[in-house]
Chain A
Amino acid sequence: MTSAKLSLSLRRMQRVYVDTCTRCGLCIPSCPAYELTLDHRLAPSYKVKLIRTLEAPSAIGRLLGLRKAVDVETLLTATYNCALCGRCEESCPFGIDTVSLWLSLRESLHSSGLNPEPLKGLEDQLLKSGNPYGAPPSMRAYWPELFGLDEAFRRAAGRRADTVLFMGCTPALRSAAQDILAATVLILEKAREGWTTLGERERCCGYPLLILGNREEAERYLSRNVELSLSLGAKRLVTVCPSCYRMFKTVYGELRGSPPPLQVVHVTQLLAEYLTKLRLEVPRKLGVRVAYHDPCDLARASRVVEAPRLVIREVAQELVELPRSKLRTSCCGGGGLLQAFNNSLRLKMARRRLEEALAARADVLASACPGCKSTLVEAAREGGLSVEVVDVVELVARAVGLSW
């Protein structure tokens, strides 16, 4: 494999971060990808070492010709066998913003054309169709027919309302996650929420583009969705996907310099509001023992850990905590586009999470992320593990007596 003389231009704080890293190695055992592969190239502190090697040298360094080459295979292995879960960031005693470093690495590889072929294909597909699955835009409005919700959906789509439901690509287009949208719509209707949706006009939130390294397109997609939502008079945007939530809630402000001009909430926060304000009544709690898997983007990246727990306690008999939970949650493997680069690692990560749920003697493993659900369901099927995987929204819908 050839060696790369990739130019990596770090921002000011990133340079401080890289210099601050003492190679204490606390991040190494915390990384789920390293834990399952024991490949040192995946260790976060090794990636910092690579970044230090790749970083554009100072004037003195340039004069002395100090820019070293890095093996491309090592670079790609280190960069893309990462779920971008941010567990390393949580473990760093110096608060080093590691995920921003991994993103810079991806941006550099993207701009130099060194990013792997499967990811190039995924990007092309996304830019052509507006979603990472290559489905035509009309398919976004197809799922309601599968659940007999087409009338409610048609009534809501495109009308002016305070709350816009941002469907997201995975819930709208992947069969394993479509139940989440169906349950959400049923709950919105039951709570008499005035809601709307972008329908076929909705596009990807931009998160996959961002982690592919295409920041400009990510910003364009994100802004377009916000503008369309505002054009419907929305004051609040509800997402069922934590990655979409993160994009609207945090990344929009990072990219645009100011937060979005509408309130962004995750569906679990909305459910917590409904249940505490008695807009939804639970006749009888579900007699199940529920283990909750915190999605990385919701818990670690967005600090939403209590709302889903409050909701589960309201609707289920018992909530059990997995050994790794809340801000120290372990990724299910569904993040970082691992599916396109290393699907077996993704499924290994998911399997380990399922085993943790089984060890906790949970009847149900609940998450609050369509990506987590589809990954965990796939791993359970492949591994023959009998754990029911559901989304928190589905649990609520069941508890309030809704069926689809």
Chain B
Amino acid sequence: MENSAINGLYVATFSYLPYVTVAVTALGFLHRFARWSLAPSGTTLRLRGPHLSSSSALKALFNLALDLLLFRSVYRENPRLWAVSWIMHVCAASIMFSGIHHKAHLYLLGLMDEAPSLMHEPFEPPIPSLQALLKRHIPPLLPDAVERPTAILRGAVFACMFLILLARRLKDPALRATTSLSVYYLLLLLISGSLMGTALALESFTPYLSLHGRMLLVSMHGITAQLFIMSIPFTCEIHMLPGAELTKIAYELRGWARR
């Protein structure tokens, strides 16, 4: 790839695509919430008694926290899948919220800061005030000496966990029949994105790429990250925002209220 093309890709990925990402994601969420709120609200005929055996709201919240933080219900059903999914989610959270430069690693908040050093010229992030705010208020989670090498490890583990999940899906005929194209798309996006992220973390530890090689890798990583963000409201990734929490909370509170 020509250097000028890489420059163009880099600028497009980090200067223009974010606006598309934000717009598509916001519209996606609006569409999803509209679909939910426009659905009839009548009884769903649960046919079952209270979900909870807990005797108090406090215990209900404790049970809920166990499920949300430790994935207790997954552990009860399938400890091996629990190990993979829990480790994957912990890696995801730690990668997202620590980042190799002691900042949040969410695209708009983290990657933009790398732009000036990569471009060797002044570069204004699209939301400077938010980034500045986070820089000021989010303390580094880990010291740099720990953060950099573990970032490589976490990224690699993250990718491996997704590879295991993909293999599991391909191996099991029933699971394969259940899986829609969007799930494969998400898995491939996450595997490639995390592998590129790991390569970048390694690069920041022991540089091995030329400037344009690094720019290309950062751009590709940025594109996969943004494609993933755009997919959230349109795919089952919706579970990571309100889906899981809403259903769980509604379920637990409804169960508790009926007692």
A28 to B175, Cβ gap below 8 A? yes
A255 and B43 CA atoms in complex are apart in Å by: 8
* Chain B neighbourhood of A24, CB < 8 A: 74, 81, 85
Closest B residue to A97 by CB, please name it.
B46
Interface membership of chain B positions 22-57, coded 1 if the CB is closer than 8 angstroms to chain A and 0 otherwise: 000000000110011101111111111111010000
B248 to A100, Cβ gap below 8 A? no
CB within 8 Å of B: which of A162-188?
A: none
B45 to A20, Cβ gap below 8 A? no
Closest A residue to B182 by CB, please name it.
A23
* Chain A neighbourhood of B71, CB < 8 A: 93
Interface membership of chain A positions 1-44, coded 1 if the CB is closer than 8 angstroms to chain B and 0 otherwise: 00000000111111111011111111011100010001011010
B180 to A26, Cβ gap below 8 A? no
Please tell me which one of the listed residues A12, A43, A93, A96 contacts residue B178 in the complex, with CB atoms under 8 A apart. A43
* Chain A neighbourhood of B45, CB < 8 A: 100, 103-104, 210, 215, 251, 254-255
Please tell me which one of the listed residues B31, B172, B239, B250 contacts residue A25 in the complex, with CB atoms under 8 A apart. B172
CB within 8 Å of B: which of A321-378?
A: 328
A150-158, A274-282, A299-307, A395-403 - interface stretch:
A299-307
B47 to A58, Cβ gap below 8 A? no
A48 and B67 CA atoms in complex are apart in Å by: 22
CB distance from A269 to the nearest CB of B (A): 13
A23 to B180, Cβ gap below 8 A? yes
* Chain B neighbourhood of A84, CB < 8 A: 47
Closest A residue to B34 by CB, please name it.
A58
Is B118 close to A, CB under 8 A? no
Is B174 close to A, CB under 8 A? yes
Is B236 close to A, CB under 8 A? yes
A246 to B47, Cβ gap below 8 A? yes
Is A86 close to B, CB under 8 A? yes
Interface size class of B (residues with CB under 8 A): 35 or more
B50 to A303, Cβ gap below 8 A? yes
Is B243 close to A, CB under 8 A? yes
Please tell me which one of the listed residues A21, A28, A99 contacts residue B48 in the complex, with CB atoms under 8 A apart. A99
Closest A residue to B40 by CB, please name it.
A11
A246 and B50 CA atoms in complex are apart in Å by: 12
Is B58 close to A, CB under 8 A? no
* Chain A neighbourhood of B39, CB < 8 A: 9-12, 14-15
Is A123 close to B, CB under 8 A? no
* Chain B neighbourhood of A14, CB < 8 A: 39, 44
Please tell me which one of the listed residues A29, A49, A95, A254 contacts residue B248 in the complex, with CB atoms under 8 A apart. A95
B43 to A22, Cβ gap below 8 A? no
* Chain A neighbourhood of B51, CB < 8 A: 95
Closest A residue to B179 by CB, please name it.
A23
B74 to A23, Cβ gap below 8 A? no
Is B247 close to A, CB under 8 A? yes
Is B256 close to A, CB under 8 A? no
Given A13-B250, A25-B174: A93 and B48 interface contact (C-beta under 8 Å): no
A11 to B174, Cβ gap below 8 A? no
Is B107 close to A, CB under 8 A? no
A28 and B46 CA atoms in complex are apart in Å by: 20
Given A17-B247, A95-B248: A23 and B178 interface contact (C-beta under 8 Å): yes
* Chain A neighbourhood of B252, CB < 8 A: 95
A43 and B176 CA atoms in complex are apart in Å by: 11
CB distance from A57 to the nearest CB of B (A): 10
Given A93-B73, A95-B251: A40 and B40 interface contact (C-beta under 8 Å): no
Closest B residue to A45 by CB, please name it.
B178
Residue among A9, A13, A60, A92 having the largest count of chain B Cβ atoms under 10 Å: A13
Besides A15-B35, A246-B49, 13 other A-B contacts (C-beta < 8 A): A12-B37, A13-B250, A16-B246, A20-B236, A22-B239, A28-B172, A28-B174, A40-B173, A43-B177, A43-B178, A100-B46, A246-B47, A250-B47
Sample of 21 A–B contacts (CB below 8 Å): A11-B43, A12-B36, A12-B39, A16-B36, A20-B243, A22-B236, A24-B81, A25-B178, A28-B175, A40-B173, A40-B178, A41-B177, A45-B178, A46-B174, A46-B177, A48-B178, A58-B31, A95-B247, A95-B252, A97-B44, A250-B49
B-to-A contact residues, CB < 8 Å: 31-32, 35-37, 39-51, 53, 67, 71, 73-74, 76-78, 81, 85, 169, 172-180, 183, 236, 238-239, 243-244, 246-248, 250-252
A-to-B contact residues, CB < 8 Å: 9-17, 19-26, 28-30, 34, 38, 40-41, 43, 45-46, 48-49, 58, 60, 84, 86, 89, 91-97, 99-100, 103-104, 210, 215, 246, 249-251, 254-255, 300-303, 328
